[in-house]
Amino acid sequence: MDNKSDKAKDSAKITQLRDDMTDATGKPLTTRQGLKVNDTNNSLKSGPRGSTLLEDFLLREKITSFDHERIPERIVHARGSGAHGVFELYKPQGEFTKAGIFNDTSRKTPVFVRFSTVAGSKGSTDLARDVRGFAVKFYTEEGTWDLIGNNMPIFFIQDAMKFPDLVHAVKPEPNKEIPQAASAHDTFYDFVSLTPETLHNQIWVMSDRAIPRSLRMMEGFGIHTYRLINEKGEAHFVKFHWKPVLGVHSVTWDEAVKISGADSDFHRRDLWDAIDSGQFPEWELGFQIVPEADEHKYEFDLLDPTKLIPEEMVPVTIVGKMTLNRNPENFFAETEQVAFLPGNIVPGIDFSNDPLLQGRLFSYRDTQLSRLGSPNFHQIPINKPIVEVHNNQRDGQMQMSIPKGNTAYFPNTLGGGCPHMSKVSDGAFESYAERIDSNKIRTRSESFIDFFSQPALFYRSLQKWEQQHVMEAYAFELGKCTHQHIQERMLWMVNEINEDLAAQVAKKLGLKVPDTIEQPINQAISADCNVEDFQPGKAKNYLDKSPALSQDKSKFDTIATRQIACLMADGFSMKDFDAMKKTLEAKHAVVKIIAPHGGTITCDTGMEHKVDAAIATTESVLFDAIYIPGGQKSIDGLKAEKKYVKFINEALKHCKAIAADNEGEDMLNKTFVSDFKDDKAILINADAQKFVDAIAKHRNWDRMERASDLPV
Ligand code: HDE
């Protein structure tokens, strides 16, 4: 008996040992079977110069493990960055949902988040013009809940059936595998121009939302309408929103293109560095609640994922906060192997009949089975629930646990009837008992047939500078298409959104907006569809503007984590620099010294200061603002390096805040800044607080029109 319990203890130790194997500190190198190795640098040969022997099991184990190191990358969202964190609830939401995570304010629910781009491969640039994925895994006490959304509140298509077409159209063209991580090509616009339901998401992709300044400065949306279920079994429709505490901010397209060359890991690095330095990214979670009784109250269908509910019609109620506070230990084990499933749901939350969501419920598990290679992918540490798992599903590749006993079926007596079923009152999941009474039919609901109203609302709601960016994006993307009939069909569609916009884009393309299009949109829904339904003049105007859609209504009250390039050389004024640095760092900005060379520079009081980057190794687009302290010798040093002029001119063109003190002004006089001295974000010998305020505004867009033509 004793012997048996000792063995049990031993086996527990073995399990513990297995878990500890990941930490190699102070440990010897072994094979995968635990054999100690005395030489991992040389293969087994017949003599020092002889041929390598087939017998070399050490070489074979090392090389074959390496040969199989990669798993298939995700079909979409291959490029991603992840982080761990916690979700905390502000106030119990029992009125709407019985979910534990939304009722217990004492909980700190662990989360893992993965942000991604959609179209590019795993190694593609972070700054592609694209939708960003925003996938959150909540490890709750009732099981894992995955909320897998995007940084835009709507999707391209209305039915899962069209997803393979959408993805094939946007991915590199299959004959030449070009272009990488870009929608600006013929096949994408061929598809879009024949599929008007894509227009709403498409115009969002033309906006600045598609080129975020940081993953930490973008909103997240669940997109689909879900249901919340309370203890009484009552349902409310809900849309989930993530609001970034740092506000919603973007870069310009000119910057995006240059950042892609200067640092294609810009977003990944920014997320990592912020968490590493203790500046934890935060988002507040909000609910947009619609009572079941109001399901048909709106001029759009709540089940249509190409429509948003304007916040002015249904406000977002903030319920809690997510803080990302820990970087992954290992990219592959965590960020690459994490498997999100829309079907991971907990009691108190349920699906709606959105046909896109319904298709996703099937697709994600299917893709994980082929990507991770086994139905046991939930046993990978990052995918493990924090609650115990017991069922009769057995075997399969890479079974990591050792199920005990002889019963793998239910019901049973031999296993004591376990694992047993639970009552709903004991926390079991029960699907919402929605009444279904209808004919079997393959069709699109008529309530989904409105393709122009919300893209038009979005465009109307933008500020002038944002509209200008949308126009330039269309001109760029359509300009990359080589088939005129595709460009014209797109112009015809854009004309339905806004005539001015279409006219401006047409001018840039050297084309006219066509009155009619040669190839009508007759296959958009089905071969039997009524083409009349897609004809122009159908845009409704149920809301003139939705200010919440503009980034101009975001938050502009912080400079935390903003990167400030301080341009300085030997002999800089310590007094100027020290005062500015103290002010900026007190507000949690990141101050970087950009000098003519690496190593250190010496200030006018003789102290040495570590250089963060030599001017030759960095670019203006990687920073949010520029500061130049005084000190004649320092300014002479800057003037001797031509790249500083370009550095400053680019920041000017990108509407960033620029400050200089004393002799620092001389440096600005060598640049185009000398023509912009009346600009409110150009601060010469000004109070440091004014510089802080200008950085917090993100950009001075009033400068945009004049600065956009600068030859940099
Ligand atoms: Fe996805 N999507 N998707 N998607 N999606 C995947 O699953 C799919 C859709 C989204 O960081 C894949 O694990 C279909 C909408 C994110 O790991 C795949 C349809 C939204 C991620 C898949 C959609 C998303 C994915 C590829 C139409 C916003 C990355 C690898 C019915 C609400 C998650 C994988 C991560 C990933 C299929 C539509 C967001 C192939 C069939 C709508 C953020 O299963």
Say what the pTM is.
0.95
Q: Whose CA is nearest to atom 32 of ligand 1?
A: 149
The residue whose CB lies within 8 Å of the most ligand 1 atoms, and thus the one to mutate among 340, 358, 366, is 340
Contact 102, 348 (CB under 8 A): yes
Ligand 1 geometric centre to CA of 579 (Å): 49
| Position 426 in a domain | no
Strands 682-684 and 657-660: parallel
- How far away, in angstroms, is 163 Cα from ligand 1 center? 10
pLDDT, residue 528, reads 75
Decide if 589 contacts 527 (C-beta within 8 A): no
3-class DSSP state for residue 539? Answer: coil
CA distance 487 to 475: 10
Q: By C-alpha distance, which of 191, 99, 80, 198 is closest to 142?
A: 99
Residues in the ligand 1 pocket, defined by CB under 6 Å: 74-77, 80, 114, 116, 133, 135, 148-150, 155, 160, 163, 223, 305, 340, 356, 359-360, 363-364, 367-368
Catalytic site residues? 77, 150
Do 362 and 163 meet the contact criterion of CB atoms below 8 Å apart?
no
Q: In this structure, are 359 and 500 located in the same domain?
A: no
Helices (H), 425-532: 453-461, 464-479, 484-497, 499-509
Do 521 and 656 lie in a common domain?
no
Is 227 domain-assigned? yes
Question: Where residue 62 sits, what CATH number does that domain have?
Answer: 2.40.180.10
Q: Retrieve residue 664's tokens.
A: 């620092």
Burial 276-292 (b: 16+ CB within 10 A, else e): eeeebbbbbbbbbbbee
Residue finishing a domain among 552, 581, 611: 552
The confidence score (pLDDT) of residue 520 equals: 60
Which atom from ligand 1 is nearest to the alpha carbon of 224? 32
Identify the pLDDT of residue 2.
47
Cβ-count burial of 295 within 10 angstroms (0-12 exposed, 13-18 middle, 19+ buried)?
middle
Q: Are residues 618 and 538 in the same domain?
A: no
Q: Which two tokens stand for residue 513?
A: 């907006």
The residues of the chain scoring below 70 in pLDDT are 1-22, 518-522, 530-537
- Residue among 76, 157, 308 to mutate when testing ligand 1 (max atoms within 8 A of CB): 76
500 and 629 share one domain = no
Contact 566, 624 (CB under 8 A): no
Indicate whether 607 and 701 sit together in one domain. Answer: yes
CA-to-CA separations, 511 to 213, 491, 656, in angstroms, rounded = 33, 9, 34
pLDDT at 532: 61
Separation of CA 78 and ligand 1 centre (Å)? 10
Q: Please state, in angstroms and rounded to a whole number, the distance separating the CA atoms of residues 443 and 445.
A: 6
Q: Domain boundary residue among 383, 410, 429?
A: 383
Residue 584 carries which side chain, given as an amino acid letter?
L
DSSP β-bridge partners for residue 595: 614
Residue 290 DSSP SS3? strand
440 belongs to a structural domain: no
Give the model's pLDDT for residue 1: 39
Q: How many Å is the Cα radius of gyration of the chain?
A: 29
- What is the secondary structure of 69-120 as a DSSP string? ---PPPSSS-SEEEEEEEEEESS--TTT---GGGT-TT--EEEEEEEEESSS
Q: Give the alpha-carbon dihedral of 222, 224, 228, 233, to 10 degrees.
A: -160
Q: Which helix (H) or strand (E) holds 672?
A: none
Kindly state whether residues 535 and 599 are assigned to the same domain: no
Output the CA 131–ligand 1 centroid distance in Å: 12
Give the distance (Å) from ligand 1 centre to CA of residue 76: 7
CA distances from 659 to 585, 666, 684, 690 (A): 16, 12, 6, 9
- The three-state secondary structure class of 677 is coil
Q: What is the pLDDT, as a whole number, of residue 178?
A: 98
Closest ligand 1 atom to 360 CA: 31
Which atom of ligand 1 approaches the CA of 222 most closely? Answer: 32
Q: What does DSSP assign to residue 27?
A: P
Tokens of 70: 């990669």
Distant-in-sequence, close-in-space partners of 619: CB < 8 Å, separation ≥ 6: 258, 259, 262, 263, 647, 650
DSSP 336: I
Q: How far apart are CA 306 and CA 201, in angstroms?
A: 7
Length of the chain: 712
If asked whether residues 535 and 676 sit together in one domain, one would say no
Range of the domain at 568: 556-707
Looking at the fold, whether 697 and 591 belong to one and the same domain comes out as: yes
One domain for residues 494 and 356 = no
User: CA–CA separation, 366 vs 295, rounded Å?
Assistant: 32
**Do 145 and 245 lie in a common domain?**
yes
Q: What atom in ligand 1 is closest to the CA of residue 359?
A: 31
Question: Mutation test of ligand 1: which of 165, 198, 360, 368 has the most ligand atoms closer than 8 Å to its C-beta?
Answer: 360
How many structural domains does the chain have?
3
377 and 485 share one domain: no
The tally of CA atoms less than 13 A away on the side-chain side of residue 646 is 11
Same domain, 562 and 477: no
Is 388 domain-assigned?
Answer: no
Angle, CA of 19, 370 and 129, to the nearest 5°: 100
Task: Choose one of 536, 552, 568: the last residue of a domain.
Answer: 552
Smallest CA separation from ligand 1 atom 14, residue: 360
Q: What is the CATH number of the domain that holds 532?
A: 1.20.1370.20
